[in-house]
Structure 1
Amino acid sequence: MNLTSFTDYGLRMLMRMASAPDQAFSTADLAEEFQLSRNHLTKIMQRLAQGGIVETRRGVNGGALLRRTPAEIRLGDVVRLLEQGQSLVECFGPKGGDCTIDGCCRLKSRLRQAENRFIADLNGSTLLDVALPRRAAA
């Protein structure tokens, strides 16, 4: 299994945010810290906001805040949200791909079960479990 960079970067951002859950984080600061594209992180932050993981605020004291405590945010739920639209295999996609053995394939159900167990296993951990160490104030 291979998670997209979208999910990887989203998890990194949330791990940093979990280190100071009462602090608002700008995508510019997170982009600088992780040396990633601000535009890409903005898209990820939008998905996290749409999914109810973060709340975003504009203005001088703006930025993104976690909507729940890190202990309440399950990793599997985050991965499912960020991987939305990404299929483990082509035949799981919305159009089913070009598979010629669909209808008699016995692998598809096993892959679906494995994918579900992967998410369930991740849901055994929370954002608090993987939070980065709190950074000292500059």
Structure 2
Amino acid sequence: MRFTSFTDYGLRMLMRMASAPDQAFSTADLAKEFNLSRNHLAKIMQRLAHGGIVETRRGAHGGAVLRRSPSEVRLGDVVMLLEEGQALVECFAPDGGDCTINGCCRLKARLRHAENRFIEDLNKSTLRDIALPVRAAA
């Protein structure tokens, strides 16, 4: 299984945020820290906010903060939110894709089961478990 860059970057952002859960993080600061596109991170932050993982604030002391304690945010739930709309295989797409063996395929059920187990296993861990180490002051 491979995550999209959207999910990869979203997890990186959340790992940083989990290291200082009371701190507000701007997408500009996160983009600089991870050497990523600010615009791309802003889209990810919007998805995280829409999904109830973060809260965004405007103004001088603005940025994004976690809405819940890092120990309450399960990784599988985050991955499902960020991977929303990305089918593991073509036949999992909402329209079923262009699969020519649909109806007699014995692989689809096994892949669906494996995908569910993957998410269940990720949900055994939280953001607290993967928080980046707190950086020492320079």
Range class of TM-score, shorter chain: over 0.9
Aligned residues: 138
Indicate the residue corresponding to 2:19 in structure 1: 19
Instruction: Please list every run of 5 or more consecutive structure 1 residues that lacks an aligned counterpart in the other structure.
Output: none
Indicate the residue corresponding to 1:52 in structure 2: 52
Distance in structure 2 (CA, Å) of the matches to 1:65 and 1:57? 8
Task: Output the TM-score relative to the length of structure 1.
Answer: 0.98
Describe how 1:1-138 pairs up with structure 2 within 5 A: 1-137=1-137
Identity of aligned residues (%): 82
For residue 117 of structure 2, what is the amino acid of its counterpart? R
Shift of residue 58 of structure 1?
A: 0.4
Distance in structure 1 (CA, Å) of the matches to 2:34 and 2:58? 22
Q: Deviations over 1:73-121 (max 9, x none)?
A: 0000000000000000000001111111111111101100000000000
Instruction: Please list every run of 5 or more consecutive structure 2 residues that lacks an aligned counterpart in the other structure.
Output: none
For residue 111 of structure 1, what is the amino acid of its counterpart? L
RMSD of aligned C-alpha atoms?
Answer: 0.7
Distance in structure 1 (CA, Å) of the matches to 2:61 and 2:89? 43
Distance in structure 2 (CA, Å) of the matches to 1:37 and 1:136? 25
Distance in structure 1 (CA, Å) of the matches to 2:50 and 2:109? 30
- Most deviating of 90-99 and 32-41: 90-99
Shift of residue 36 of structure 1?
A: 0.1
Distance in structure 2 (CA, Å) of the matches to 1:100 and 1:44? 34
